[in-house]
Amino acid sequence: MTTLPPTSQTSPATLPPSVFTLPQTAQLEALYTIIRDKDTNRGDFIFYTDRIIRLLVEEGLNHLPVIPKTVETPTGATYEGVGFEGKICGVSILRAGEAMEAGLREVCRSVRIGKILIQRDEETAKPKLFYSKLPEDIASRYCLLLDPMLATGGSAMKAVEVLLEHGVPENRIIFINLIASPEGLNTFCSKYPQLRVITGWIDKGLNEKAYIIPGLGDFGERRYCI
């Protein structure tokens, strides 16, 4: 028998109020089922993750403030609409976050995109910044921070630290993510309660290797390795 899931998810009370999920529709669940399947080939993995990324970016843009804007239409009438209040930029956390850049470019023409590389410091076992290249006027922009997998939250928190050091106010950062673990979300949002998280799906948890369960495995490996 066919069953349809509800069209929108009420977030469990345990989730921070700054977390927003995509509507948990049957279509979205079908897309996630494809990308989670270990037998999905690389071409399909790219195609279907791109579809979800596009939905996430569109949802992220819904969280940007707008101001009144009046235009004149070709009929000579005026239309009292709105326009985005500020400029935006994307910042991808390398390397997996790079896969989300194209989805952002598809909907925001000529968007500026920065990059941050964070890796584990073998001496301290903590996330360490290895490289960053950010738009010089980033402090005056809304920042869409891109990383597909939020596991422990360590890299995301380090990336936010870098953005704050560059003058981006916390409440101008929107973190965009495909799959999050509840523990990663709680750690991340307790540290940075003013930023918003847009995620496609919240999974059960983490395994002993800090992979998201059920998850989809290593996103970078599935996306980039043939």
Chain residues that interact with ligand URA, rule: CB under 6 A: 96, 149, 151, 211-212, 215, 218-220
Is the CB of 169 or the CB of 220 nearer to ligand URA?
Answer: 220
Is the CB of 103 or the CB of 135 nearer to ligand URA?
Answer: 103
Q: Which two tokens stand for residue 202?
A: 């919240």
Is the CB of 109 or the CB of 209 nearer to ligand URA?
Answer: 209
Report whether 174 contacts 57 (CB < 8 A). no
At what angle are helices 26-36 and 42-61 packed, to 10 degrees? 140
Report in angstroms how near the CB of residue 78 gets to ligand URA at its nearest: 50
Report in angstroms how near the CB of residue 96 gets to ligand URA at its nearest: 6
Is the CB of 172 or the CB of 222 nearer to ligand URA?
Answer: 222
Q: Which two tokens stand for residue 92?
A: 């991808």
DSSP state of 193: T
Report in angstroms how near the CB of residue 45 gets to ligand URA at its nearest: 12
Which residue in 11, 21, 17, 72 sits closest to 199, CA to CA?
Answer: 21
Please state the three-class secondary structure of 120-167 as a single string: ECCCCCCEEEEEEECCCCHHHEEEEEECCEECCCHHHHHHHHHHHHCC
Is the CB of 127 or the CB of 215 nearer to ligand URA?
Answer: 215
